[in-house]
A = this chain, B = another copy of it.
Amino acid sequence: MRPPQGPAVCDNMIHVTFQPSGEAGEVEPGLTVLAAAESLQVPITAPCGGDGRCGRCRVIVEGDCAAPTAAETEHLSEEDLTAGYRLACQAQLRGDAVITVPAESRTTAAKIISEYSWREVEPAPNVRQQSLKLAEPALEDQRSDFTRLAEALDEGGDELEAEPVVLRSLSDAVRAEDFSVTATTVGSRLARVLPASALARSLGVAIDIGTTTVVVYLVDLQTGEQLATTSTLNPQDRYGHDVISRIEHVSQGEGGLEELRSTVVGCVNGLVSQATSEAGVSPDDIFEATIVGNTCMHHLFLGLDPTNLAQAPYIPVMNRPLSASPREVGLAINPQGNIYCLPVIAGFVGSDTVAVLALSRLSTREKPALAIDIGTNGEVMLWSGARLLVTSCAAGPAFEGAEIEHGVRAAAGAIDRVWLHDGDVRISTIGGRAPSGICGSGIFDVVAALLDSGAADAMGRMADAERAGELAESIARRLRGEGPKREFLLASGADAADGRDIVFTQKDLREVQLAKGAVRAAVEILCTEAGIKPDDLQEVLLAGAFGNYIDAGSALRMGLLPPMPVERVQGIGNAAGAGALLALVSMSERRVAAELAKNAEHIELFTRTDFQMVFADSMIFPAAGEAGG
């Protein structure tokens, strides 16, 4: 017998180093670069879920690697391959390697919208904390500890309930300081009783789970004061950038659903912990969490199977408001607290949309009004003056830069503004850094600039060499390539962050055109359904990061919206998060949200016989002067 030798070691492990982070370690040979990066916790973006479809996980590999796959030869040019570029999801490691992850392939902290619209609202939360001096027991007053407390609470108390675990410490708690106590109730449930002198707070968190970003708002429920806001990228991103990729991951079985669930719950717990640290408070004082997100995020957070969301007829497991116990969900707040998930409306109209409806009170307007929320997906809400209609459309990815050749998230270096000046385009970037790509607001502007300069026509065709001759010289020389490879140069490699030219391609323009066509078609169809003319819309609210940053003029110029005066269009910020906050601090707002979800009429665009026709019309860009503004 040989003596034991400590932990087993695989003889042929290989050593990999990731640059620029310097993370290094041993992995098994045969792993893809992406798998190796995951095992060493190096973030690499893989929007398509690592299927080789998107070509976005470009890395430079120096070392022993299997030959490029078909997916790689499709997405990488001969020049790229010569320079050592590989797709992280495809390239199989055979021996030691040094892997450089360029900026555009890194998963980085995005620029987060932490400002939000806040309506004046009287704090009237589900969680209440009361300080009480109870009558002392006597032979003439033999009420139980519980009844004594219940009858002293403001709510009266015939309805008060409690779990045994709370009752187990009740008699000690009430007697510790001569029947002076601080009691916390969550709805009609007694959640905590402490001696009066104990430092007790009642806090809450509003949680906005976006496909891309997760935000936690920490609030003092007694005062309504916001104590901290924390956010991060949704770490489910590693399983795919969009909801469809994530649902596919679930469909593959083998614990994919639990993986996605625990990933996002872990993320939320991290954000809650960070927020409480920042505010110097205890997570045990958090008695309620309100949750908003699209239907897929809602399902994944609760561990509900999202599979049927992705296939007609797009059926959610659960649409109604849902209260759950922190223990069951795995949320690290007071175990006696409550988790309230706002209701969803349909497979692709989630509680984030409900939150927008609740925050904006769209349906209280006298005149017809529209709200649009474009995050990773697009939702359109129409109040006709009598009916509230909602729908979703496949609009998001392009506007967020996901299907755009040089599209990036709104982080430092992203081109966020493009405008015409002196017959040429000018750009600005976030933080004034060397440009790294184009983010959503930049995409809107560049399309408007292409249309205004004549570099693209109403059909979405970039000017060919012949038509380019009629354009301003400085515009014309930015156009290059032929046919489907035609592209518009925004920044030359000499100026750019990674030395490569930043361009907006004909294909990019088509992607934007499809997306804007989808949104516009949704608007037109809702108006038709409601029997109003687009002209009647007195107000258009743009929600989300989208709404905060895009230029309303550019949105009108590209025909995302029907022609109208630009003053009618306004951003309302991260309305989803704000809606979750409203539902957290005010029970009447929560009830309003639930009613809105129940009464909103969901229109499924695909079931409309007029959809294809309207969609085709909606893809056409307006001629100059036709878009309003």
The answer on a CB contact under 8 Å between A163 and B328 is yes
CB distance from A36 to the nearest CB of B (A): 33
Interface residue A316 (Cβ < 8 Å from any Cβ of B) = yes
In chain B, what residue has the closest Cβ to A301?
B164
CB distance from A65 to the nearest CB of B (A): 41
| Residues of chain B contacted by A259 (CB below 8 angstroms) | none
Task: Given A167-B304, A302-B164, A307-B171, check contact A315 B146 (CB 8 Å).
Answer: no
Contact of A324 among B163, B170, B305, B328 (CB under 8 A): B163
Stretch of A15-23, A224-232, A543-551, A599-607 at the chain-chain interface: A599-607
| Residues of chain B contacted by A313 (CB below 8 angstroms) | 137-139, 141-142
Per the 8 Å Cβ criterion, residues 578-608 of A in contact with B are 602, 604, 606-607
Per the 8 Å Cβ criterion, residues 290-343 of A in contact with B are 302-305, 307-308, 312-320, 322-325, 328-329
Interface residue A197 (Cβ < 8 Å from any Cβ of B) = no
Interface residue A346 (Cβ < 8 Å from any Cβ of B) = yes
Interface residue A161 (Cβ < 8 Å from any Cβ of B) = yes
The answer on a CB contact under 8 Å between A607 and B304 is no
The distance in angstroms between the C-alpha atoms of A604 and B142, with both chains bound, is: 9
Interface residue A9 (Cβ < 8 Å from any Cβ of B) = no
The answer on a CB contact under 8 Å between B144 and A305 is no
The answer on a CB contact under 8 Å between B323 and A161 is yes
The answer on a CB contact under 8 Å between A145 and B607 is no
The answer on a CB contact under 8 Å between A139 and B317 is no
The distance in angstroms between the C-alpha atoms of A140 and B144, with both chains bound, is: 55
Interface residue A172 (Cβ < 8 Å from any Cβ of B) = yes
In chain B, what residue has the closest Cβ to A347?
B142
The answer on a CB contact under 8 Å between B305 and A168 is yes
* Chain A contact residue count (CB 8 A cutoff): 50
Contact with B along A156-171 (1 / 0, CB 8 A): 0000011111011011
Task: Given A139-B606, A171-B305, A317-B170, check contact A322 B144 (CB 8 Å).
Answer: no
CB distance from A611 to the nearest CB of B (A): 12
Interface residue A147 (Cβ < 8 Å from any Cβ of B) = yes
Contact of A147 among B312, B320, B323 (CB under 8 A): B320
CB distance from A459 to the nearest CB of B (A): 31
Task: Given A161-B323, A163-B328, A323-B161, check contact A315 B144 (CB 8 Å).
Answer: yes
The distance in angstroms between the C-alpha atoms of A312 and B140, with both chains bound, is: 11
Contact of A317 among B165, B171, B308 (CB under 8 A): B171
The answer on a CB contact under 8 Å between A318 and B139 is no
The answer on a CB contact under 8 Å between B146 and A318 is yes
The answer on a CB contact under 8 Å between A318 and B167 is yes
| Residues of chain B contacted by A318 (CB below 8 angstroms) | 144-146, 162, 167, 170
CB distance from A227 to the nearest CB of B (A): 28
| Residues of chain B contacted by A161 (CB below 8 angstroms) | 322-323
In chain B, what residue has the closest Cβ to A315?
B137
The distance in angstroms between the C-alpha atoms of A164 and B304, with both chains bound, is: 7
The answer on a CB contact under 8 Å between B324 and A164 is yes
The distance in angstroms between the C-alpha atoms of A304 and B147, with both chains bound, is: 15
Task: Given A323-B161, A346-B142, check contact A167 B302 (CB 8 Å).
Answer: yes
The distance in angstroms between the C-alpha atoms of A313 and B167, with both chains bound, is: 19
| Residues of chain B contacted by A319 (CB below 8 angstroms) | 143-144, 146-147
The distance in angstroms between the C-alpha atoms of A323 and B189, with both chains bound, is: 12
CB distance from A141 to the nearest CB of B (A): 7
Contact with B along A24-50 (1 / 0, CB 8 A): 000000000000000000000000000
| Residues of chain B contacted by A145 (CB below 8 angstroms) | 308, 315-318
CB distance from A427 to the nearest CB of B (A): 43
The distance in angstroms between the C-alpha atoms of A146 and B171, with both chains bound, is: 41
| Residues of chain B contacted by A346 (CB below 8 angstroms) | 142
The distance in angstroms between the C-alpha atoms of A137 and B317, with both chains bound, is: 12
The answer on a CB contact under 8 Å between A314 and B142 is yes
| Residues of chain B contacted by A308 (CB below 8 angstroms) | 137, 145, 171
| Residues of chain B contacted by A144 (CB below 8 angstroms) | 315-320, 344
In chain B, what residue has the closest Cβ to A308?
B171
Contact of A328 among B150, B165, B302 (CB under 8 A): B165
CB distance from A275 to the nearest CB of B (A): 23
The answer on a CB contact under 8 Å between B164 and A328 is yes
The answer on a CB contact under 8 Å between A312 and B146 is no
Contact of A164 among B165, B329, B344 (CB under 8 A): B329
The distance in angstroms between the C-alpha atoms of A307 and B171, with both chains bound, is: 9
Contact of A142 among B146, B168, B303, B602 (CB under 8 A): B602
CB distance from A258 to the nearest CB of B (A): 10
In chain B, what residue has the closest Cβ to A306?
B171
| Residues of chain B contacted by A305 (CB below 8 angstroms) | 168, 171-172
| Residues of chain B contacted by A602 (CB below 8 angstroms) | 142
In chain B, what residue has the closest Cβ to A302?
B164
In chain B, what residue has the closest Cβ to A305?
B171
Which 8 A-B pairs rank lowest in CB-CB distance, beginning with the nearest? A144-B319, A144-B316, A146-B318, A164-B302, A139-B313, A139-B607, A137-B315, A171-B305
Further contacts, 4 of them, CB under 8 A, given A144-B319, A161-B322, A163-B324: A138-B313, A142-B602, A163-B325, A164-B328
A-B contact pairs, 13 of them (CB 8 A): A139-B312, A139-B607, A144-B318, A144-B319, A145-B317, A145-B318, A147-B319, A164-B302, A164-B322, A167-B318, A168-B305, A170-B304, A171-B307
